[in-house]
Amino acid sequence: MPNPSLNALPTPCLLVDETRMQANIDAMNAQLQRLGVPLRPHLKTCKNIEIARAMLAGHPGAAAVSTLAEADYFFRHGITDLLYAVGIAPGKLAAVAERIEAGMDLTIILDQAATANAVVSAGRQLGCRFRVMLEIDADGARAGFRPDDPDLVSTARKLVEAGADLAGVMVHAGGSYGCSSRQAIVDMAATERRAAVTAAERLGAHGLQCRQVSVGSTPTALRAQDLAGVTEVRAGVYIFQDLVMAGLGICTESEIAVSVLTEVIGHRKAQGEVLVDAGWMALSRDRGTASQARDRGYGLVRDLDGSDLGEVIVQATNQEHGILAGPDNAAVRLADFPVGRRLRILPNHACATAAQHAHYWLLDNQEPARLLRRCNGW
Amino acid sequence: MPNPSLNALPTPCLLVDETRMQANIDAMNAQLQRLGVPLRPHLKTCKNIEIARAMLAGHPGAAAVSTLAEADYFFRHGITDLLYAVGIAPGKLAAVAERIEAGMDLTIILDQAATANAVVSAGRQLGCRFRVMLEIDADGARAGFRPDDPDLVSTARKLVEAGADLAGVMVHAGGSYGCSSRQAIVDMAATERRAAVTAAERLGAHGLQCRQVSVGSTPTALRAQDLAGVTEVRAGVYIFQDLVMAGLGICTESEIAVSVLTEVIGHRKAQGEVLVDAGWMALSRDRGTASQARDRGYGLVRDLDGSDLGEVIVQATNQEHGILAGPDNAAVRLADFPVGRRLRILPNHACATAAQHAHYWLLDNQEPARLLRRCNGW
């Protein structure tokens, strides 16, 4: 059976423009080649093996994941070096040990002496040699030891003395998402690198060698000017890009590779608003552009072929309804959006919007070419 | 194999307290019995057949759904009278016709003359007699003909003359979610009833009889004082309740039946904040309490057994991280939240949080009793 056309696909559904996606991969690879550091792609955005393989091409083959479900899925598909890049919950150590036993080269992260104690204790109890990276905090945005935290060295020593494999240090400069200028992101990339390298040097000075010095976020990876001392870069959202990244100047809107296909189902004539069949269930509740210079509501509306329609956004959502309007609720010309017209919506946050869907339709030359599944869940 | 205990379930995951859920069902049934109107439960919240059967007990057996995927799933499990309660997209009419052909008593809704034209045309082309309800707008919140809209009667007549089955009218007073007092919800329920009954009477006066006069939302269903002229009530979120409903005074926090199980993975000592392994992926990005008197962030934290821990909320989220703090970012006593402690998080919006999960663990007397699947997707 031939694939349905864009006009026949059931709505709402998730589309990925393969040409744009490959251009995003090429841009990241060119940047990292300039800097001489390989990529450990973060697969939490794509959650699909075919896309993961495209991200991994030309790189060592190691990847980062955000759930054990992703780790299992990618391991089944041949990716063995996996960094589970969320501070390990002690309750997950038995599950981690099972996966190591099964041959997965799974690395966990931690940033607390208390967690290191739990890892040491579980390692003894389960007879498992856990591979650990220490999370370092560059920007106060989330987690990690500060590079000068006295607990950093003592925790690393405790792990090594208990027989754990100390792989190195990792930093995620999540604060880069809140930067308001290109220079601020350049500076954040330097801060991220410095935090990682400083922590690794401190550990090394105490005889605790770091094989891996891992940094990354899409904005800092694409804006870094120097990665001396860094052994790998992690990034995930660059694969699709999104409106938050466009608001940061990290991509243009025409580089966003993922969108939600939707159909007009009605008009609110008095308000000059258009109803579509993509609500927060299809778009997610993410409002990441709300704090940026241009608030894009729940997403930016594009024509069926992806081309520009001006500033029409999804102003509001219910579970399966989206309400389209201009900025500041300006009315749109309803005659331009007849019932039955199909549109695409560019997401605020690619990770969040993609997570609402079990599958992607990969578009080749604007025609649905293949249906790819995502490994959602935990 | 016995079920894992709450301490052994993989985190994050979704829990449903069966006792609380049944109490919510009983409360809705008692209210509707007082008013003498049966329930057409909206299954978009639960998306599970076992829970749907509990909602349907004592009622005629008709249900409302928000996707054709729900319609298919519930039809396979024996529910045949299904209202697809989202304005029909013309692109879905062929799929609707297939389901009618397969024996589903599927009703569609519309609120536009243009959509009626598409239904008439598809009905002729596909040889299908569509069953249609006209959506009526009570509060300007989303969709529907105003009860006095001149297009209402002409659209109904066009449908009937073309051979469609005009089942009646339906109203959803979504504005009830924004009410700020008990009386405002009581008044909204009266407005909702009046809009539906007025529209049905107008149609009847033109010889267009309405078998069904359908109203509903959880707040208006639970606060209505009179439903004269109404033939069925729709409600969905009452099955679980949530913090938005608690903020509206529709339930108490101790009546919320759904929660996300999580585990402490770290501390931000300087800020007095706690990191857990439930981020927006497990909780959703819904911030429904942000506009209420008490903003609960991304959810309210409870002890593992569901009991009160005071006002600790999920202040911020990343994809797989939640950051717990007191109101206004007040520090919490970190010693009370050691790494490895398990907690539950009550959701802002049950529909949105549940949608992030493929399964529920149903708790019987605080022990995981059964794993129920949800029919997510479209």
Together in a domain, A84 and A222: yes
Domains identified in chain A, total number: 2
Together in a domain, B220 and B257: no
Contact: B7, A66; criterion CB under 8 Å? no
Contacts of B67 in chain A (CB under 8 A): 320
CA distance A24 to chain B (A): 22
Q: What average pLDDT does range B167-192 have in this prediction? A: 94
Structure tokens at B285: 């990005």
CA distance B139 to chain A (A): 12
Together in a domain, B92 and B151: yes
- A12–chain B Cβ distance below 8 A for any pair: yes
Report how far residue B375's alpha carbon sits from residue A206's, in angstroms, rounded to the nearest whole number.
Answer: 54
Question: In this structure, are residues A102 and A108 in contact, taking their beta carbons and an 8 Å threshold?
Answer: no
Which pLDDT value is given to residue A327? 82
CATH number at residue B36: 3.20.20.10
Contacts of B8 in chain A (CB under 8 A): 91
Identify residue A42 by its one-letter amino acid code: H
CATH number at residue A347: 2.40.37.20
Q: What residues contact residue B310 under an 8 Å CB cut-off, 6+ apart?
A: none
Together in a domain, B185 and B72: yes
- A22–chain B Cβ distance below 8 A for any pair: no
Which pLDDT value is given to residue A18? 97
Together in a domain, B38 and B76: yes
> Taking 70 as the threshold, does the pLDDT of residue A1 lie above it?
no
Does residue B232 fall inside a structural domain? yes
Contacts of A377 in chain B (CB under 8 A): 357-358
Does residue A27 fall inside a structural domain? no
> Taking 90 as the threshold, does the pLDDT of residue B84 lie above it?
yes
Which pLDDT value is given to residue B36? 98
- Predicted confidence (pLDDT) per residue in B115-168, tens digit: 999 999 999 999 999 999 999 999 887 889 999 999 999 999 999 999 999 999
Contacts of B263 in chain A (CB under 8 A): 89-92
Does residue B154 fall inside a structural domain? yes
- Predicted confidence (pLDDT) per residue in B247-289, tens digit: 999 999 999 999 999 999 999 998 999 999 999 999 999 999 9
> Taking 90 as the threshold, does the pLDDT of residue A125 lie above it?
yes
Which range marks the domain in which residue B369 is found?
A: 253-373
Contact: B267, A86; criterion CB under 8 Å? no
- Predicted confidence (pLDDT) per residue in A86-98, tens digit: 999 999 999 999 9
Together in a domain, B281 and B235: no
Q: What average pLDDT does range B34-59 have in this prediction? A: 98
Residue B192: which pLDDT band, with cuts at 50, 70 and 90?
very high
Together in a domain, B211 and B345: no
Q: Which of A256, A258, A262 is nearest to A9 (CA)?
A: A262
Does residue B340 fall inside a structural domain? yes
Together in a domain, A229 and A272: no
Which pLDDT value is given to residue A2? 76
Q: What is the pTM of this model?
A: 0.97
What sections of chain B are H helices per DSSP?
Answer: 18-35, 49-56, 68-76, 93-101, 113-126, 150-161, 182-205, 218-223, 243-247, 280-283, 350-354
Together in a domain, B275 and B210: no
Q: What average pLDDT does range A320-342 have in this prediction? A: 95
Which pLDDT value is given to residue A140? 85
**Range scoring the smallest mean pLDDT among A31-45, A146-160, B136-150, B328-342:** B136-150
Does residue A325 fall inside a structural domain? yes
Together in a domain, A88 and A224: yes
Does residue B229 fall inside a structural domain? yes
Together in a domain, B197 and B272: no
Report percent pLDDT > 90 for chain B.
Answer: 94
Residue B328: which pLDDT band, with cuts at 50, 70 and 90?
confident
Together in a domain, B76 and B144: yes
Does residue A90 fall inside a structural domain? yes
Question: In this structure, are residues A130 and A96 in contact, taking their beta carbons and an 8 Å threshold?
Answer: yes
